[in-house]
Amino acid sequence: RPTASSDELAAVCAAAFEQKPSQQRAALLRMSEAVAALELEYPDVEVSLPGPWRTILEDIQRIEQDRLETAGMHRAILESVDRFTPSPSFPYEIQFTRNAVAGRYRVEFLDEKNGLCLEVDTLNRVTPPQMKV
C-alpha cells in the first residue's frame, strides 16, 4: 500500500481525470481496475469520475465482457455447470447470468440466489485480486 496521503491520491486522480480519456482498450481496462481498487482500498479518497470518463470506463468493461462471451470457453463453462444437479453434498441449483453487475464490478457469471460469482482469468484479462476472495 502506498504511503501517499488521501489528499495526494485525490489530487492525482483529479489531474488524471482532467485529461481526455484514452482510446486504447488495454489502458482503459487498467484504469477501470485502478478506480475500483482505489474505491475499495482507500474509501476516504474522493474519486469523482467526470461523465465522459465514467461512460467510457463502463462501456469498455461491457465491450470486453461481450467480446469474451463469444469465446468457446464461456459456452463450455455453462455446459459444465448445467450438468450440476442438486444432491445432499451439493444442495444448490446454479443459474448463472452472464455479463452481470456485482457491486462495483461487471463479472462474467453471477448466480445471485446462491451468492456465487465466477470470473475466469485469461491471458489478456486478469481478475482483480479483490474479487478472488
Provide the pLDDT for residue 69.
Answer: 67
**Which has more confidence, 127 or 57?**
57
Model confidence over 19-69: pLDDT tens digits?
999 888 888 888 888 888 888 788 888 778 899 999 999 888 888 777 766
Residue showing cell 470470473:
119
CB atoms within 10 A of CB 118: 15
Sheet holding 116-118, edge to edge: 97-102, 105-111, 116-118
Residues 6+ apart with CB under 8 A from 31: 22, 57
By residue count, the chain amounts to 133
Model confidence over 108-119: pLDDT tens digits?
889 999 888 888
When pLDDT is averaged across residues 92-103 and rounded to a whole number, the result is 85
Supply the pTM of this predicted model: 0.56
Q: Are 92 and 86 in contact (CB under 8 A)?
A: yes
